[in-house]
Structure 1
Amino acid sequence: MSYPPQPAPEQKPAEAKKLSGLPPIVVICGSTRFMTEMNEADLRETAAGRIVVKPGCDMKSPHALRSDPVEAEAVKARLDELHRAKIRLADEALVVGDHIGDSTRAGIAYARSLGKPVRFTHPEVDPDA
């Protein structure tokens, strides 16, 4: 007896979503200096019937989590890994803002490496355009 091939790890969330009938999931990417714009994008995407995941921490504003530089770097590393997980979960990425920094550029490259469509609120900042 043979079994069908198992999906690759990055395919498993997509298969589960298809089976459960979940609406499309969009991950919002961009610098946390654009948190206001991200919240607006969240509202619009949600109103359009999509599940939205986005950065939950504003690393640009002062906070006790970032008061110790060593701990701040560890928090940033954990948040970067968490954001990559959100990209894997999502069906597509929406890049918010008129500036693309190193972290956002890495997120875009990662999403595209997984075959995820990437949209931009400001298409002129697409690093691959």
Structure 2
Amino acid sequence: MPERPEIVCICGSTRFVDEIHTANRALTFAGAIVLAPAVFPRADHEPPESITNDQKTALGALHLHKIDLADRVLIVNPGGYIGESTRQEIAHAHATAKPISYTHPT
């Protein structure tokens, strides 16, 4: 076993909460430390939690710091979808020379 487990930062649209959780679970069971987007699922009978623009901006900045901590980045992109926030995260990962992989071909 390595001295320190690999740290993987998951990026992707929070509309794919189930896919993000699936990737998190698989990576965790594979022995990785997982840094994931802030996704706050609600009970089935409750409406989705809305966040303010200021909160979204703060969470976006926080996620870039997670990328900085990671050894590599995994983009969760069902159907090849990559939104604007994820594009910014990919650009940040490239700028910091982080290896990037995708769950679906782009």
Which TM-score applies when normalising by structure 1? Answer: 0.70
Higher relative contact order (Cα pairs below 8 Å, separated by 6+ residues): 2
CA-to-aligned-CA distance 1:26-67 (integer Å, 9 cap, x gap): 0000000111001000111111111001012359x732x53x
- What residue identity is the alignment partner of 2:48? P
Q: Aligned residues: percent identity?
A: 44
The question of whether the paired residues in 2 share the 8 Å contact of 1:33 and 1:58 is answered with no
The question of whether the paired residues in 2 share the 8 Å contact of 1:32 and 1:58 is answered with no
Which TM-score applies when normalising by structure 2? Answer: 0.84
What do you get for the CA RMSD once the two structures are aligned? 1.9
Structure 1 runs, 4 residues or longer, greater than 6 Å off: none
Which has a greater percent of helix?
1
Gapped regions of structure 1 (runs ≥ 5): 1-20, 67-71
Number of aligned residue pairs: 98
- What residue identity is the alignment partner of 2:25? L
The question of whether the paired residues in 2 share the 8 Å contact of 1:87 and 1:111 is answered with yes
